Chains A and B, each alone.
Chain A
Amino acid sequence: MKFSRRDWLVGSAGALAGLVLTPVPWKLLSDVSIWTQNFPWIPQPAHGPVETQFSACTLCDAGCGVRVRMAAKIPVGVAGASRHPLTRGALCPLAFAAHQLNWHPRRLREVRHKGRVASWTEAQAAFQKACGEGPIGIIDGRPGRAASSVYEAFARKQHGSYPPLLSAERQALEPYAEWSQVPVASLGYDLENARTIVSFGAPLLDGWGIPGRFTRLWSERAAGAADPGLRLIQIEPSLSRTAARAWRWIPIREGSEAPLAAGVGRVLLDERRVDSRGPMPPFTLEEAAAATGLAAEAIRDLALKMVENRPVVVITAEGNPAIAALNVLLGAVGAPGGIVLKRDDAPSPAPVEPVSGPLRAVLMDSTVPWEFAASSGAEVFRFAAWDGGGSSTGWLLPAPGFLEELTDVPTPPTSARETYALAQNLVAPSTEVRGAAQFLLQIDPTLPAVEKIIQARCEQIFRARQGTVYGERSIDVAKLDSVEHFEEQLRKGAVWMGDPPKHSKFRCELKEWPGANRVGRAANWVAGWDPPVLPALATKLYRESNLREPPAGRQG
């Protein structure tokens, strides 16, 4: 029998058809796909002993408790630490992927000056020269840390400026501080005891305050319930993530929050729904309805909803006294479930006198948002762990990334209790980085070191003998035998939480209904965590799920 060319072709066609009925194509497809995931140039996590470390998240000032899984001394996973008394295991999506940030392609790895590579020596010499030529300013995105004390001390010695950079949450508490004469650092929100929260645009489920704290409260008391134990009423023009999950979403016109607050106040006072006899708001119900685009009946319904399930607290996205006045009217200031005192006495050192003239140079800590622009004319020394893009005219100095430096985490602005935690430098920096405090200490070695300041703070807390340390087990500070033991606990990821203040009542009165102007806010100087980059995992989970829109033109 002779085999023709046609026979070969027919036989091959049969073989091809037969191959489909074998594991060959399907198994090869599977194996090749695995092979492509394991190309030698794809970075692989190092193999080594797996251990778990506890720490505090340093991505924002909230300091949520994190449990870091380390393989060969490198973080390979971040999860919430259930031992943290406020966050109890909950985290924001960004923190879950924070370990990836240190490997981000836009990680700053060298000193840059006007776009070209420079050295630390050059940067140091330039800053020293600037200090000798005129006043300098130091911008701190997260005041209150041990590093902040270094900045403040340096600014004082140099007769420079150390202006406060307030987070939106801290600004929101400023009206109460002004009306009650209680320092803003002593005020916080008692969300745990609130039953109704009225949010005027505050992104409660998208990174507001202590993200893990509200996420945990929400999951326990509100999520999925038709009549939740914690009612969230979100007043916001657009259907944000928080609005979408709130018990009630009330869409209003952009910028009409103050008239709405006034309208609600009017209803509460006219119908005697509140005990206090505060000043009458300047808007009538009809005027408020016209300004907000809501029906008058809807505003009245909102007012009734606010008082039917107390305690109620009103939260604003920023310091808007016209909205904050509602809390005074509702009796929520100085009451459980409202605005409460977190400590009896708040140390309020005299602030550094602001410099009147132009600054010669401005040093910016790595916690300052990337978009923050210093006053024009000053030479800028910006510390940052990641390059947020755009052209830089000054110095760009690589700072430690996630968990790459020892830092302390003082009480977050919105907390109802005092807390203190340490974020240990669990990771060796992958490149030569320096923190701003370290940079200043190299210029002026007489400044107090961050470690020493942390030790002093630990000693101060320990000597007070109050509060509890939440670590592997919770222990009263009074039962600890030494300050070294206390500090060791904090370094292992424990959190100290103070006892409630003995005197929780304080007076807060309104003489007149405030206007809608914002208070306590230096022009354009607003802090908040606005990351210049997003970790790869968070990009998928967070950005693409429309939880937070990145600034225009920015790439993660």
Chain B
Amino acid sequence: MRRNLFIFGFGMALAIFAGWTAFPRALYVRREQPLEFRHQTHSAKSGLAQCDSCHVLGNDGQFSGMPANDVCAGCHSEKVGTSAAEARLVDGYLKPAVATPWLVYSRQPANVWFSHAIHIRRAGLACKDCHGNLGESDQQRLYEQNRISGYSRDIWGHSMSRLGRAPGDGMTMSDCEDCHRRRHVEVGCLGCHQ
């Protein structure tokens, strides 16, 4: 009896260990960004202190998302520095006018409509409320893509259990609903799934 209990417990412990360590590693495929980019360098040294210096929210409410080449070319039309990433940016993307294929951590599925203008201008949310401290990062994280759903890991959040998450860690529908509930904003299904 004691032996059986031991084996049962061993199997259980092994599964729990594997489930919490190996499974997350196996679930996500890790991909490099096309360029090394440092938000902190750009905000501290280049005077681009505000997120909307590059991620522009227009007066008409249109959000530019990832900056287009001409935004980067404003400073990087010629190489600034001697790094390999700089050379790749200028020679590989800006000069031949090829859009940089950034892997967007917060890309939402196509069946969701989201307005940055409403959340920033009307609700007064800060960028970090949803995107966390991404704007202060000193190095690019690997982009982790779920092998089954195809979504970025940032959508689920970095904690597999989703317990004790930091603000801005996770962008699932439940996260949207929780925030709306806290702020007493009802939008219904059609608010996002138009």
Contact = CB atoms under 8 A, between A and B. Distances in A.
A38 B7 contact: no
A27 B160 contact: yes
A10 B62 contact: no
Interface stretch (A42-50, A174-182, A330-338): A42-50
A18 B110 contact: no
A76 interface: yes
Nearest to B149: A34
Contact of B19 (A24, A37, A77): A24
Contacts of B109: 34, 37-38
Given A18-B14, A23-B160, A35 B148 contact: yes
Nearest to A77: B194
Contact of B8 (A11, A23, A96, A537): A11
B149 A15 contact: no
Size bracket, chain B contacts: 20 to 34
Nearest to B13: A18
Interface string A33-69: 0110110000011010010000000000000000001
Contacts of B62: 50
B16 A22 contact: yes
Contacts of A24: 19, 23
Given A45-B110, A96-B190, A14 B8 contact: yes
Size bracket, chain A contacts: 35 or more
A23 B15 contact: no
Interface string A99-135: 0000000000000000000000000000000000000
Interface-central residue, A10, A50, A77, A96, by most chain B CB under 10 Å: A10
B71 interface: no
A31 B150 CA distance: 9
Contacts of B102: none
Contact of A23 (B10, B23, B194): B23
Interface string B6-29: 011111111110111001100100
A373 interface: no
B149 A14 contact: no
B194 A76 contact: yes
A265 B13 CA distance: 85
B12 A15 contact: yes
A21 B110 CA distance: 32
Contact of A12 (B11, B111, B113, B190): B11
B15 A18 contact: yes
Contact of A14 (B10, B24, B111, B160): B10
A7 interface: yes
Sorted nearest first, the 7 A-B pairs with minimum C-beta distance are: A22-B19, A14-B11, A18-B15, A18-B12, A77-B194, A11-B11, A14-B8
Interface of B: 3-4, 7-16, 18-20, 23-24, 27, 62, 109-111, 113, 146, 148-151, 156, 160-161, 190, 194
9 contacts: A10-B11, A12-B11, A16-B11, A18-B19, A23-B24, A23-B161, A47-B110, A69-B113, A96-B190
Given A27-B160, A32-B148, 16 more contacts: A10-B11, A13-B8, A13-B11, A14-B12, A17-B12, A19-B19, A23-B20, A23-B24, A23-B161, A27-B23, A31-B27, A31-B146, A31-B149, A34-B149, A37-B109, A77-B113
